[in-house]
Amino acid sequence: MITIIAATNRLNSNTLKVAKYYQNNFKLRGVDAELFSLEHLPADVLNTDMYGKRSEAFQKIQDLISATEKFLFIMPEYNGSFPGVLKVLIDACAFPESFFEKKAALVGISSGKYGNIRGVDHFTGVCHYVRLHVLPLRLHIPNIRTELDAEGNLSQHDTIRFVNEQIEAFIKF
């Protein structure tokens, strides 16, 4: 199973729009992909699900993570890196079985001109530590506000071409 993770808890984010775009493009290829937005993490996850504790609310998320074979992380740039809430998710999940020897693809987005290059690099290190195998084709989508049309679809031809290339590679990965 593929799970797309919209890696921010910001409501109605561009990250979620890009994640839905990817989900739709997987569907067009006959591949089902679950979508999980970090806006649905339990509000008290730091108190209820860290260090071996498990709440009923987080158990559903853990079950999704455990069942996933491939993860696609869509990560906005927060202060030159990836959102801390994504690290909270990784830290709250059961270790090592949640991620060991599974696969991941990474997409960075930003309102600036670098497409979260540093954040994707930082998160790649986390992926390697938890033994997630990362697809070498990592995308960086800069100026996200100009990339998305009114319906939340990517509109720049080069970006669409690279996204399609990444999706095809990830399906085969």
Question: Do the beta carbons of residue 128 and residue 94 sit within 8 Å?
Answer: no
What's the whole-model pTM score?
0.96
Band of pLDDT at residue 14, cut at 50, 70 and 90? very high
In the numeric block, which tokens belong to residue 79? 């202060």
pLDDT at 48: 85
The DSSP call for residue 38 is G
- pLDDT cut 70: percent of the chain above it: 100
Residues with Cβ within 8 Å of residue 63, at least 6 apart in sequence? none
In the numeric block, which tokens belong to residue 12? 């109605």
The one-letter amino acid code at 90 reads I
pLDDT at 46: 86
Segment 82-96 shows an average pLDDT of 95
Q: Residue 79 sits in a domain of what CATH number?
A: 3.40.50.360
The per-residue pLDDT for range 44-69, each reduced to its tens digit, is 888 888 887 788 889 999 999 999 99
Domain count, the chain: 1
State the Cα–Cα distance between residues 80 and 114, nearest whole angstrom.
10
DSSP 58-111: HHHHHHHHHH-SEEEEEEE-BTTB--HHHHHHHHHS-TTTTTTT-EEEEEEE-S
pLDDT at 52: 76
Q: Which of helix, strand or coil describes residue 122?
A: helix
In the numeric block, which tokens belong to residue 166? 């990444």
Question: Do the beta carbons of residue 123 and residue 73 sit within 8 Å?
Answer: yes
Torsion of CA 143, 144, 146, 150, to 10 degrees: -170
The one-letter amino acid code at 52 reads G
The DSSP call for residue 40 is G
The per-residue pLDDT for range 119-153, each reduced to its tens digit, is 999 999 999 999 999 999 999 999 999 999 999 99
The per-residue pLDDT for range 92-126, each reduced to its tens digit, is 999 999 999 999 999 999 999 999 999 999 999 99
What range defines the domain where residue 163 resides? 2-172
7-11, 23-27, 43-47, 155-159: least confidently modelled range: 43-47
